[in-house]
């Protein structure tokens, strides 16, 4: 769950002059206040789009649990948000009235963008509605005197192109990037007076520099202009490859939020130097064990996950990962993520501490995780905490395949189907045994060929003599 957004605080320096004048009694106008600067208590708060996972950059509103005009209390679920992996209830951190919904059900917004306004009492609802109108229209307030002084120092910006995002009204509390906040502090720029030109009114570093009167440096611009012709072909190649002529009679269906996240992760994985190793394993004894424990609710997936966890405990480097490109991250827990196909996407529920739990408790946990995955109710830690991934297409009869390494992990195992195979023993006698092929894709920055071969040998020994799985 994302951290609670800071309440919108209005001080005398950020409240329009007409409001400050109305807040001072008529007889007191013209006199200096005795106790310093007047502070107006914040009564309108923004509900932001939360970051429900480390990879989430945008969220889609599934439904609003609270309608406009409803009074809500701190901790109440007000909206259901579809992240890149699951649908989650989002709670409010304040008491108040839902005055205005800025992002309707079915619409999307980036993380950190306001999606609703919360008024403290009914008296503030009209003010919240006015602010919502300003945010939706993207029109600045009609406060002419103050901007006039700024215009004398810096020339007015050129007209905004139609394709550019509409800026948020000046005088409202925009959302600033971390770098923009740092620049604002360095140049003593009041964020409340800066008009954001980024997506959904986000204040960018360029906005801060413009407000501080800093002109763009010509030298970097010249370098960028000189390098533009070199970069132009590669930059243009991507859109040309992505945008193809329409196929007559075809229907274009946009990615869902989950499909977009899967696409993004798969593209990111291409930057990791990987290698693949295959290993055949006899499964006769594993099949016999499975027939014994199947009536107790134990699945083949759980047996494979348990065997992988036990092997990883003996080969921790395969359970490690490289997150910064220059160091190993040895994980203290062995969490087996298992790929599950769901309607419209793919998700990897995680069997946490799989090496420490018995197969019966793991089976119960797996049953609960699959149920949550089917209904898109997994919590972030239930699908994003994996240290090693298992993908089992053998249940569909696939005999061999290669899996793509998920970002942030060191290896992924692809398990094929177990099929009768003619094998010869050391004495030259032939027999028929069930055999499956597993292929492991690993990050070559942390896992070397000998490491992976040793891990697969240990995994094969556990599968071929599986009594240790029941201990």
**Residue positions annotated with a catalytic role:** 444
By the 8 A CB rule, do 388 and 308 touch?
yes
d(CA 327, CA 323): 7
Q: Which of 138, 82, 88 is nearest to 108 (CA)?
A: 82
Q: What is the 3-state secondary structure (H, E, C) of 72-101?
A: ECCCCEEEEEECCCCEEEEECCCCEEEEEE
Angle between helices 284-293 and 300-314 (to 10 degrees): 120
- Measure the CA angle with vertex 295, ends 292 and 301; round to 5°: 80
- β-strand pairing of 77-82 with 10-11: unpaired
Buried b or exposed e, range 110-130, using 16+ CB within 10 angstroms? bbbbbbbbbbbeeebbeebee
- Measure the CA angle with vertex 379, ends 376 and 384; round to 5°: 105
State the DSSP string of 291-317. HHHGGGT--HHHHHHHHHHHHHHH-GG
């Amino acid at each position: 769950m994302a951290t609670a957004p800071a309440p919108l605080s209005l001080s005398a320096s950020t409240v329009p002059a007409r409001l400050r004048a109305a807040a001072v009694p008529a007889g007191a106008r013209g006199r200096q206040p005795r106790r310093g600067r007047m502070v107006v208590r914040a009564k309108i708060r923004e509900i932001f789009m939360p970051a429900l996972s480390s990879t989430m950059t945008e969220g889609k509103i599934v439904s609003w649990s609270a309608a406009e005009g409803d009074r809500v209390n701190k901790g109440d679920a007000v909206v259901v948000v579809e992240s890149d992996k699951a649908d989650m209830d989002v709670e409010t951190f304040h008491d108040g009235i839902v005055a205005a919904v800025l992002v309707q059900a079915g619409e999307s917004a980036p993380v950190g963008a306001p999606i609703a306004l919360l008024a403290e009492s009914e008296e503030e609802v009209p003010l919240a509605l006015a602010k919502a109108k300003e945010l939706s229209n993207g029109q600045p307030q009609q406060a002419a005197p103050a901007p006039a002084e700024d215009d004398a120092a810096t020339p007015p910006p050129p007209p905004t192109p139609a394709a550019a995002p509409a800026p948020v009204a000046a005088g409202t509390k925009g959302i600033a990037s971390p770098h923009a906040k740092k620049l604002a502090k360095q140049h003593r720029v009041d964020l409340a007076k800066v008009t954001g030109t980024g997506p959904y009114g986000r204040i960018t570093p360029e906005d801060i520099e413009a407000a501080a009167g800093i002109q763009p440096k010509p030298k970097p611009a010249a370098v960028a202009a000189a390098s533009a012709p070199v970069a132009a072909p590669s930059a243009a190649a991507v859109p040309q490859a992505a945008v193809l002529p329409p196929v007559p009679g075809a229907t274009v269906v946009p990615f869902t939020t989950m499909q977009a996240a899967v696409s993004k992760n798969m593209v990111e994985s291409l930057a990791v130097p990987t290698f693949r190793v295959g290993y055949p394993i006899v499964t006769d004894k594993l099949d016999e064990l499975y027939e014994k424990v199947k009536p107790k609710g134990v699945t083949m997936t759980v047996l494979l996950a348990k065997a992988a966890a036990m092997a990883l405990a003996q080969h921790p480097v395969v359970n490690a990962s490289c997150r910064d490109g220059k160091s190993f991250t040895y994980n203290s827990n062995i969490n087996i993520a298992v790929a599950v196909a769901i309607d419209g996407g793919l998700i990897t529920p995680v069997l946490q501490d799989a090496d420490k739990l018995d197969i019966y408790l793991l089976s119960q946990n797996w049953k609960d995780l699959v149920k949550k995955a089917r209904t898109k109710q997994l919590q972030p830690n239930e699908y994003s905490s994996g240290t090693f991934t298992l993908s089992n297409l053998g249940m569909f009869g696939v005999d061999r395949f290669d899996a793509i390494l998920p970002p942030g992990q060191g290896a992924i195992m692809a398990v094929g189907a177990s099929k009768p195979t003619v094998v010869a023993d050391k004495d030259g006698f032939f027999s028929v045994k069930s055999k499956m092929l597993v292929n492991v894709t690993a990050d070559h920055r942390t896992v070397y060929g000998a490491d992976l071969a040793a891990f697969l040998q240990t995994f094969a020994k556990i599968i071929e003599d599986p009594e240790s799985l029941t201990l």
